[in-house]
């Protein structure tokens, strides 16, 4: 008599195979989600942080070039206007989620922009002296909050203008 060999799968084998495949797919999905989150974070850095860093670097470079102690024309927490060594007037201010340089957008996606001024003894100055008086500003802290979607990033630097002493 001939033995009959079954070429199909039993129910237990089928359930075990499906369970193992399900576990592997779940583990793979967690890994893929981490990759997508990393890509999202890197996109944020490229789209927001890089232009924000370029803006804050340009501001720092130009503010260092203030002509002299009577060249500060306006200085408050959201606006700084000055004349540089080439007698060019530059005005930085915050307007409608944009950081402006004169009337041009320097950076967009800005949720907050603050300037803090310090005197020779490193004390914050609420109301700095401006033109026609010689300014008492010796150091300027620039703080820029950038946003993209639900992500935020704060950029901060400090500038010591060359021709103001200190």
What is the model's pLDDT at position 16?
92
Dihedral sign (CA 121, 91, 143, 128): positive
Q: Tens digits of per-residue pLDDT, 143-152?
A: 999 987 777 8
What is the model's pLDDT at position 49?
81
- pLDDT over threshold 70, residue 27: yes
CA 30 to chain centroid: 29
Running DSSP on this structure, what letter comes out for residue 46?
I
As given in the structure block, the two tokens for residue 8 are 């199909």
Helices (H), 6-126: 11-44, 50-63
Q: Tens digits of per-residue pLDDT, 120-164?
A: 999 999 999 998 899 999 999 999 999 877 778 899 999 999 988
Band of residue 37 on the pLDDT scale cut at 50, 70, 90: confident
- Residues 37 and 6: their CA atoms lie apart, in Å, by 48
């Amino acid at each position: 008599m001939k033995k009959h060999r079954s070429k199909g799968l039993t129910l237990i084998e089928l359930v075990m195979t499906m369970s193992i495949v399900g576990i592997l797919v779940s583990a793979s999905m967690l890994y893929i989600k981490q990759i997508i989150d990393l890509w999202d974070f890197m996109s944020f850095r490229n789209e927001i942080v890089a232009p924000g860093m370029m803006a804050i670097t340009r501001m720092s470079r130009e503010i260092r070039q203030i002509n002299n102690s009577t060249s500060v024309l306006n200085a408050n927490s959201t606006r700084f206007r000055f004349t540089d060594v080439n007698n060019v007037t530059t005005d930085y201010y915050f307007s409608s989620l944009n950081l402006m340089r004169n009337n041009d957008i320097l950076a967009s996606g800005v949720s907050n922009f603050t300037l803090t001024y310090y005197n020779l003894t490193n004390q914050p100055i609420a109301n700095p002296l401006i033109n026609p008086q010689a300014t008492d500003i010796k150091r300027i802290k620039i703080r820029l909050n950038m946003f993209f979607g639900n992500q935020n990033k704060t950029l901060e630097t400090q500038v010591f203008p060359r021709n103001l002493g200190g």
